[in-house]
A and B are shown apart, each in its own frame.
Chain A
Amino acid sequence: DAGVIQSPRHEVTEMGQEVTLRCKPISGHNSLFWYRQTMMRGLELLIYFNNNVPIDDSGMPEDRFSAKMPNASFSTLKIQPSEPRDSAVYFCASIQSGKLEAFFGQGTRLTVV
């Protein structure tokens, strides 16, 4: 398996634009997580899905952020409108039920100017 695949690896966008980050989890993994990493706040859990259903979105910072998982092999994290303070590295991770080990993607480095 190729592991967790995130795209794009880098995104530079202007303030106010919509940004969509994509994640393909490892096949057979049924839990998916979106994390944000910044120098100031470290690694923060934004949302997690189990069997494509959002279980906990309490970490989503505000209504500008939304996440979907339309099927077991794809998830998106959307920011609309984006702001400079959203600049961070966004990671997607997946877990196989009962295994507990999270596998992380390479991350998307988002810069909002």
Chain B
Amino acid sequence: AQSVTQLDSQVPVFEEAPVELRCNYSSSVSVYLFWYVQYPNQGLQLLLKYLSGSTLVKGINGFEAEFNKSQTSFHLRKPSVHISDTAEYFCAVSSSNDYKLSFGAGTTVTVRA
């Protein structure tokens, strides 16, 4: 079984400032890692994913994340946020032998002008 811990429940940030959202996972098997974004009253949308290969993955809307196997982390970053990045962000993990996604508790990002 796998699990995900998102270390920050709320992250306030000013417009054009950088942001980092922290995610740690645990699993006894190889994993795939994902970040999803949920805008108010919407479903979840994939930002980026790590399956294999380069540990730095780039996603949509200028986001990127780095997979660190030794620290079992997959932190999400954006160098300069916009007001429109205000949303809830979920880190998720699935194992190499099924498609089930296990989600973290989510991090609410609020971008202020």
Chain A residues within CB distance 8 Å of chain B:
4, 31, 33, 42-43, 45, 48, 50, 55-56, 91, 93, 95, 100-107
Contact = CB atoms under 8 A, between A and B. Distances in A.
B29 to A, nearest CB: 15
A106 B43 contact: yes
B43 A95 contact: no
A3 B42 CA distance: 13
B51 A91 contact: no
Given A100-B49, A104-B43, A95 B103 contact: no
A48 B103 contact: no
B100 A56 contact: yes
B43 A31 contact: no
Interface in B24-79: 32, 34, 36, 42-46, 49, 51
B105 interface: yes
Nearest to A31: B99
B42 A100 contact: no
A104 B44 contact: yes
Nearest to B105: A42
A104 B34 CA distance: 14
A33 B99 CA distance: 9
A72 to B, nearest CB: 16
A100 B51 contact: yes
B49 A48 contact: no
Given A43-B90, A100-B49, A100-B51, A107 B99 contact: no
B13 interface: no
5 contacts: A45-B101, A91-B43, A100-B94, A104-B45, A107-B42
B89 to A, nearest CB: 12
Nearest to A91: B43
Given A43-B103, A43-B106, A55-B98, 18 more contacts: A33-B99, A33-B100, A42-B103, A42-B106, A48-B99, A50-B99, A56-B100, A91-B44, A93-B101, A100-B94, A101-B34, A102-B44, A102-B99, A102-B101, A103-B46, A104-B44, A104-B45, A105-B43
